[in-house]
């Protein structure tokens, strides 16, 4: 196996077979109880620990290739499965095992006038295809979340991590076998040929959901070509709006946290909007704070006047997800202009208002159409863990099925179970 | 305007403008309260009543065209907006006004250890594109359900109904204006040019959901080309499995109801599976009942032997949604074979078991992966009205977002509202 993965001569039938086998496994998984699923996850944990050497020798092949191909140091870091990362995967599995299994929950129940009983019951989705980029620990994280919720997965990782993904999938499959569950509950596409993605996302006969986690061009391709429902995890172009009725000290603390604490993630702040009534004092203050923290300011005309140390923002800046120590800053006339700016340039991910005025806050929270809206809180809290979900497969920027942080419940569907004693329709 | 609808020279910009205007209307509708929405629906009712003559004269143009083009009598019947149909639309609006508005409902609420409060709140989806075939009353039904839930709609009806759809959309828009809501909350694609559909389903910048209601080829096209999430309403290839532990009298009553009461709808029975232990007596009895009701039986080999009056079923029969007085019948060895048959040939819509054995019933209800599963009840109950939803936009055969009957709640999304007093992430 090289960086192209396993050589496969007929990719369409290879992928179709994976999908068909996944569906067969899913039909069995639907009926598996929580104890059996937790048992399989426990075996995964044990095998990860036992096979550290094997994992790291396979991971080394990927790391060597990465260095040879001149990948950036940050890419190489993301690829590495050192002991700490393996411990992290084991810890996540421990946490996941303790979480409540949502499958089987009765969401609603009613008895109709004719006596028949209708129950709406949480069930697994079925087969989930996950397309992701370089980090190999996603292999275990994503497959485990899906397994806990009774779903079969087909994984398609990045070509840089093919050897690491393979050894991790072997561990997952061996654990499934040892726990008496179908090996095909988790499968990896073992070729890195791009045509395999096109095949995967058109297996609508067998696959119920595609989750692409990666760059914008990958997601756009999947959205365009898929015949299977997709839940997108797009950009987070997150805004904070500093209103005129502001607690300046608190606002500065929140803005700095949202921008600086971890700039490379989707819930980090990218654009600050400031009410014109407070701009004159607030902009120089907050911008000085930010400059001191190493943040580059890209301001509109008024911001540039008030803080000459800033760079002039272009139209592209308002759309930008920098994922870096850069912040665009704009002065707005009022709440309405702030909301319109967010509607125009935002990505409907996570946006907040900083104000002491409850009415203004309410207006903002109802008007901004984003997955998560905040009042006097850092946008960095837009996260499954912070929300108490325990585990997260990502943050959906879609409005259908799952919006915002996606935990275990969002990996389930439901069915209606109707029971009676001979009811017929008149 | 002829059967091609309004002449539009630049269809891509025409559709894009509709979509952009719908998004603007949706942003306003998000904030409209229940009283305002109900007021608009009340005005729709009044205008439908006042403009009966206008509706019927426009409808006559469609009916004349239909007769000229040799449409079948059943198609022409579906097209007709007689007084009874208009009364029906008014009655549906009356019912809809009385229903609870799901928007604003707090689905979950928690306070995190750091003191921030997280609320999960029901919100409108945004902009919904509805693509439907000949029945013009869908125009008012679908648009009203979406309006009640604060969604803007873009309607694309069948070309046979273009004049009827136009007059009904005018009424909806006039009612919106009179009620002080944006006219663009409901818009009709006024050309019947097929390229408009392709444009509509790729406006992912503005449209949040596409609901296609029509034949299989329309749905397949939409699924293939859409870059917007789609909720499909596919076929209902519904099964009943008559188990060995059966109450024969009750089972016969249910089977006849499921097949005969209204054979042309998606929740009507299409295939009967019979346990081999009861086949010898049950098959001749039920088949005789059905023949007497005018039903043609297409049986597997054993059924043909037991009821020689049946026709030999082909492989295609097991996949067929007859929507007619035809039933395929097969003898199976046991529950497992029944479940496998349903998994292989079914459409995951509505399937049931007839048995007095609770354990067998439970096994069936958990193993069959359909939107609605029944025990000792007719499949004809798979219906939003029968489920107590009050109104229904269709029956989803998808597993994401909405499964089975889709009422008002299924036309909503949610957002997270997080409030605090300066929380930052450490």
The predicted-structure confidence for A321-351, as pLDDT tens digits, reads as follows: 999 999 999 999 999 999 999 999 999 999 9
Residues A228 and A244 in one domain: no
Residues of B in contact with A384 (CB under 8 A): none
DSSP state of B408: S
Residue A84 domain flag: yes
Cβ atoms within 10 Å of A35's Cβ, excluding its own: 9
Residue with tokens 């007596």: B281
Residue A233, pLDDT score? 87
Instruction: Please tell me the total count of domains within chain A.
Output: 2
Residues B182 and B105 in one domain: yes
Chain B contact present for A118, CB below 8 A: yes
Partner B, chain A 227-246, Cβ-Cβ below 8 Å: 227, 229-231
Chain B contact present for A20, CB below 8 A: no
Q: Alpha-carbon distance A324 to B249, whole Å? A: 72
Chain A contact present for B377, CB below 8 A: yes
Which band of pLDDT confidence, cut at 50, 70 and 90, is reported for residue A185?
very high
Nearest to A387 among B118, B352, B374 (CB): B118
Flag if A419 and B224 touch (Cβ within 8 Å). Answer: no
Spatial contact of B309 and B287, defined as CB atoms under 8 Å apart? yes
Which residues touch A303 (CB under 8 Å, ≥6 apart)? A274, A279, A283, A287, A297, A310, A313, A329, A330, A331
Which band of pLDDT confidence, cut at 50, 70 and 90, is reported for residue B1?
low
Question: How does strand A117-124 pair with strand A106-111?
Answer: antiparallel
Residue B19 domain flag: yes
Nearest to B400 among A209, A250, A370 (CB): A209
What length does chain B have? 426
Spatial contact of A242 and A274, defined as CB atoms under 8 Å apart? yes
Domain of B349 in residue numbering reads as 238-381
Q: Alpha-carbon distance B241 to B273, whole Å? A: 5
Chain A contact present for B398, CB below 8 A: yes
Q: From the candidates A363, A377, A379, A411, which should be mutated to test the interface with B, based on the most B CB atoms within 10 A?
A: A377
Residue B2, pLDDT score? 66
Q: Tell me which chain A residue has its CA closest to the CA of residue B107.
A: A107
Residues A213 and A284 in one domain: no
Residues A158 and A205 in one domain: yes
Average pLDDT over chain A reads 96
Residues of A in contact with B247 (CB under 8 A): 422
Residues A100 and A228 in one domain: yes
Spatial contact of B161 and B79, defined as CB atoms under 8 Å apart? yes
Q: Tell me which chain A residue has its CA closest to the CA of residue B28.
A: A367
pLDDT in tens, B90-130: 999 999 999 999 999 999 999 999 999 999 999 999 999 99
Spatial contact of B219 and B334, defined as CB atoms under 8 Å apart? no
Flag if A424 and B372 touch (Cβ within 8 Å). Answer: no
Residues B323 and B253 in one domain: yes
Residues B208 and B337 in one domain: no
Spatial contact of B268 and B380, defined as CB atoms under 8 Å apart? yes
Instruction: Please tell me the least confidently modeled range out of A231-235, A405-409, B22-26, B419-423.
Output: A231-235
Residue B423 domain flag: no
How far is C-alpha A361 from the chain's CA centre?
A: 27
Residues of B in contact with A343 (CB under 8 A): 27
Flag if A418 and B373 touch (Cβ within 8 Å). Answer: yes
Nearest to A419 among B126, B377, B399 (CB): B377
Flag if B227 and A223 touch (Cβ within 8 Å). Answer: yes
Q: Alpha-carbon distance B231 to B236, whole Å? A: 15
Residue A3, pLDDT score? 66
Spatial contact of A108 and B407, defined as CB atoms under 8 Å apart? no
Residues B246 and B360 in one domain: yes
Residues of A in contact with B361 (CB under 8 A): 419
Quote the radius of gyration of chain A (alpha carbons, Å): 24
CATH number at residue A119: 3.40.605.10
Tokens of A328: 């665009």
Residue A390, pLDDT score? 82
Instruction: Please tell me the least confidently modeled range out of A297-301, A384-388, B299-303, B323-327.
Output: A384-388
Partners of residue B373 on adjacent β-strands: A417, B351
Nearest to A229 among B123, B257, B398 (CB): B398
Residue A17 domain flag: yes
Q: Tell me which chain B residue has its CA closest to the CA of residue A370.
A: B415
Flag if A413 and B403 touch (Cβ within 8 Å). Answer: yes
Residues A73 and A205 in one domain: yes
Flag if A424 and B380 touch (Cβ within 8 Å). Answer: yes
User: Among B182, B103, B110, B410, which Cα is nearest to A366's?
Assistant: B103
Residue B77 domain flag: yes
Flag if A254 and B424 touch (Cβ within 8 Å). Answer: yes
Tokens of B341: 């048959």
- For residue A363, give how far its alpha carbon lies from the nearest alpha carbon of chain B (Å): 9
How wide is the angle at C-alpha A396 spanned by C-alphas A391 and A401, nearest 5°? 95
Flag if B420 and A388 touch (Cβ within 8 Å). Answer: no
B170-180: burial string, b at 16+ Cβ within 10 Å, e else: bbbbebbeebe
Q: Give the residue-averaged pLDDT of B340-348.
A: 96
Which band of pLDDT confidence, cut at 50, 70 and 90, is reported for residue B7?
confident
- For residue A269, give how far its alpha carbon lies from the nearest alpha carbon of chain B (Å): 12
Quote the radius of gyration of chain B (alpha carbons, Å): 24
Report ipTM for this prediction. Answer: 0.95
Spatial contact of B389 and A53, defined as CB atoms under 8 Å apart? no
Which band of pLDDT confidence, cut at 50, 70 and 90, is reported for residue A1?
low
Residues B99 and B34 in one domain: yes
Which band of pLDDT confidence, cut at 50, 70 and 90, is reported for residue B181?
very high
pLDDT greater at residue A354 or residue A138: A354
pLDDT in tens, A263-280: 999 999 999 999 999 999
Distances (CA, A) of A113 to A118, A196, A287, A423: 11, 52, 65, 11
Q: Tell me which chain B residue has its CA closest to the CA of residue A353.
A: B419
Question: How does strand A209-213 pair with strand A127-132?
Answer: parallel
Residue B3 domain flag: no
Q: Alpha-carbon distance A214 to A212, whole Å? A: 6
Residue B5 domain flag: no
- For residue A372, give how far its alpha carbon lies from the nearest alpha carbon of chain B (Å): 5
Residue with tokens 């048959």: B341
CATH number at residue B352: 3.40.309.10
Partner B, chain A 202-231, Cβ-Cβ below 8 Å: 204, 208-209, 223-224, 227, 229-231
Q: Alpha-carbon distance B209 to B196, whole Å? A: 16
Residue A6, pLDDT score? 85
Residue B81 domain flag: yes
Partner A, chain B 138-197, Cβ-Cβ below 8 Å: none
pLDDT in tens, A119-176: 999 999 999 999 998 789 899 999 999 999 999 999 999 999 999 999 999 999 999 9
Nearest to B417 among A231, A373, A403 (CB): A373
Residues B224 and B144 in one domain: yes
Nearest to A416 among B223, B372, B380 (CB): B372
Q: SS in 3 state form for chain A?
A: CECCECCCCCHHHHHHHHHHHHHHHHHHHCCCCHHHHHHHHHHHHHHHHHCHHHHHHHHHHHHHHHHHCCCCHHHHHHHCCCHHHHHHHHHHHHHHHHCCCCCCCEEEEEECCCCCEEEEEEEECCEEEEEECCCCHHHHHHHHHHHHCCCEEEEECCHHHHHHHHHHHHHHHHHHHHCCCCHHHEEECCECCCHHHHHHCCCCCCCCEEEEECCHHHHHHHHHHCCCCECCCCCCCEEEEECCCCCHHHHHHHHHHHHHCCCCCCCCEEEEEEEHHHHHHHHHHHHHHHHHCCCEEEECHHHHHHCCCCEECCHHHHHCCCCCCEEEEEEECCHHHHHHHHHHHCCCCEEEEECCCHHHHHHHHHHCCCCEEEEEECHHHCCCCCCCCCCCCEEECCCCCCCEEECCHHHEEEEEEEEEEEECCC
Chain B contact present for A404, CB below 8 A: yes
Chain A contact present for B109, CB below 8 A: no
Residue B212, pLDDT score? 93
Chain B contact present for A356, CB below 8 A: no
Chain B contact present for A375, CB below 8 A: yes
Count how many pairs of residues, chain A against chain B, have C-beta atoms within 8 Å: 205
Tokens of A311: 């760079």
Q: Tell me which chain B residue has its CA closest to the CA of residue A114.
A: B386
Spatial contact of B41 and B95, defined as CB atoms under 8 Å apart? no
Taking the alpha carbons at both ends of chain B, their separation in whole angstroms is: 64
Question: How does strand B238-242 pair with strand B350-354?
Answer: parallel
Chain B contact present for A277, CB below 8 A: no
Residues of B in contact with A261 (CB under 8 A): 424-425
Chain B contact present for A6, CB below 8 A: no
- For residue B69, give how far its alpha carbon lies from the nearest alpha carbon of chain A (Å): 34
- For residue B421, give how far its alpha carbon lies from the nearest alpha carbon of chain A (Å): 5
Nearest to A227 among B224, B258, B374 (CB): B224
Residues of B in contact with A257 (CB under 8 A): 424-425
Residue A2, pLDDT score? 66
Q: Alpha-carbon distance B406 to B211, whole Å? A: 11
Residue A7 has pLDDT above 90, yes or no: no
Residues A89 and A170 in one domain: yes
Q: Alpha-carbon distance A355 to A204, whole Å? A: 47
Percent of chain A with pLDDT over 70: 99
Q: Give the residue-averaged pLDDT of A77-103.
A: 95
Flag if A367 and B209 touch (Cβ within 8 Å). Answer: no
Residues of B in contact with A424 (CB under 8 A): 253-254, 257-258, 261, 378, 380
Average pLDDT over chain B reads 96
Spatial contact of A382 and A404, defined as CB atoms under 8 Å apart? yes
DSSP letters spanning B182-205: -GGGEEE--B--THHHHHHTT-TT
């Amino acid at each position: 196996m090289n960086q192209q993965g396993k050589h496969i001569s007929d990719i369409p039938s290879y992928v179709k077979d994976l999908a068909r086998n996944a569906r067969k496994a899913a039909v069995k998984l639907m009926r598996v109880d929580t104890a059996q699923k937790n048992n399989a996850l426990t075996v995964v944990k044990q095998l990860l620990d036992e096979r550290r050497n094997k994992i790291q020798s396979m991971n080394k092949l990927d790391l060597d290739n990465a260095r040879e191909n001149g990948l950036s140091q940050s890419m190489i870091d993301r690829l590495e499965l050192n002991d700490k990362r393996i411990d992290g995967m084991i810890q996540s599995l421990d946490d996941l095992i303790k979480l409540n299994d949502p499958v089987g929950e009765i969401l609603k129940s009613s008895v109709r006038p004719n006596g028949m009983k209708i129950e709406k019951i949480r069930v697994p989705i079925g087969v989930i295809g996950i397309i992701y980029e370089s980090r190999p620990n996603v292999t275990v994280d994503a497959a485990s979340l899906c397994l806990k919720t009774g779903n079969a997965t087909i994984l398609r990782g990045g070509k840089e991590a093919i050897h690491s993904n393979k050894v991790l999938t072997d561990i997952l499959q061996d654990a499934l076998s040892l726990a008496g569950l179908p090996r095909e509950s988790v499968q990896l596409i073992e070729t890195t040929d791009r045509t395999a993605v096109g095949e995967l996302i058109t297996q609508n006969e067998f696959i119920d959901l595609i989750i692409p986690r990666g760059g914008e061009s990958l997601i756009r391709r999947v959205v365009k070509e898929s015949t299977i429902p997709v839940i997108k995890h797009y950009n987070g172009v997150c805004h904070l709006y500093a209103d005129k009725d502001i607690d300046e000290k608190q606002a500065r603390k929140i803005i700095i946290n949202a921008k600086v604490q971890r700039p490379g993630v989707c819930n980090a702040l990218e654009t600050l909007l400031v009410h014109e009534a407070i701009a004159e004092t607030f902009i120089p203050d907050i911008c000085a704070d930010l400059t001191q923290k190493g943040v580059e300011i890209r301001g509109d005309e008024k911001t540039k006047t008030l803080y000459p140390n800033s760079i002039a923002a272009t139209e592209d800046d308002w759309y930008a997800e920098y994922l870096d120590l850069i912040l665009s800053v704009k002065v707005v006339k009022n709440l309405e202009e702030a909301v319109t700016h967010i509607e125009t340039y935002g990505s409907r991910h996570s946006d907040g208002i900083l104000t002491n005025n409850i009415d203004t806050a309410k207006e903002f929270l109802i008007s901004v159409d984003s997955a998560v809206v905040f009042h006097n809180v850092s946008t960095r809290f837009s996260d499954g863990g912070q929300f108490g979900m325990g585990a997260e497969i990502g943050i959906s920027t879609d409005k259908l099925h799952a919006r915002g942080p996606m935990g275990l419940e969002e990996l389930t569907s439901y069915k209606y179970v109707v029971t009676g004693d001979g009811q017929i329709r008149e």
